[in-house]
Amino acid sequence: MSCPRKLEVLYEDRDPKKWRVPLREDMFHSLMPQSEGSLFSPLLFGKFFDPSDAFPLWEFESDILLASLRNSGNSTTDWFEAEGEYVLRAESPGLRHCNIQVIVESEKIMEISGQWEEKKEVAARDWRSGKWWERGCVRRIELPQNADWRKIEAKVEDDILLEIRIPKGTKNDSSTTSLGNIDVPYGVIDANSKIKEN
């Protein structure tokens, strides 16, 4: 059992063009079957949403809808609220070979991304036909309004489990503090929203 590896949480993306890769049909098909049921999968609930499917909300049964995800066995993701924080735990085999980044954008969106590359050794005479490719995964999550995005902590345990802790903000945040008096053209509005004439 190895000790947890702490990840740096970035507040801006240092390489915003990292995902600009042409998506050929063969690459698309190679990515889809491998990622079914994982945290980063567009098929998180078993398939893409099809508007032609009948989806009566009054007959919603989570056991039936999520059965394929539970039985996939590829990875699990838990998102829960604790006493003073939110916790996201994602079990993803293969994090050892992946460069995981946690980026907070505009104080509202947390992006979890990972890229890994495979380089194949080729003989010196075949250097023109050598190929390398890289692929990755990304998941963007909207942070709760009371999340303290400045104190987010992320770590990887045993190269399998990604854990992100997001502390809740205090009641004295700038979003909830009293504004006091505000000057307006024809009077003053105090904290009790009464207009006083000048």
Element (H, E) at 39: none
The residue that leads in pLDDT, 67 or 182, is 67
The neighbour count for residue 169, using CB atoms within 10 Å, is 19
187: region left, alpha or beta (phi > 0 left; psi from -120 to 50 alpha)? left
The residue that leads in pLDDT, 18 or 1, is 18
Buried b (16+ CB within 10 A) or exposed e, 98-134: bebbbbbbeeeebebbbbeeeeeeeeeeeeeeeeeee
Q: pTM of the entire structure?
A: 0.52
Which of 162, 155, 154 minimizes the C-alpha distance to 137? 162
pLDDT (tens digit, 9 = 90+) per residue, 51-80? Answer: 445 444 444 455 554 555 444 445 577 888
Under CATH, what is the fold of the domain 5-15+23-196?
Answer: Immunoglobulin-like (2.60.40)
Find the radius of gyration of the CA atoms of the chain. Answer: 23
Percent of the chain with pLDDT over 90: 5
Q: What residue spans define the domains of the chain?
A: 5-15+23-196
The residue that leads in pLDDT, 116 or 70, is 116
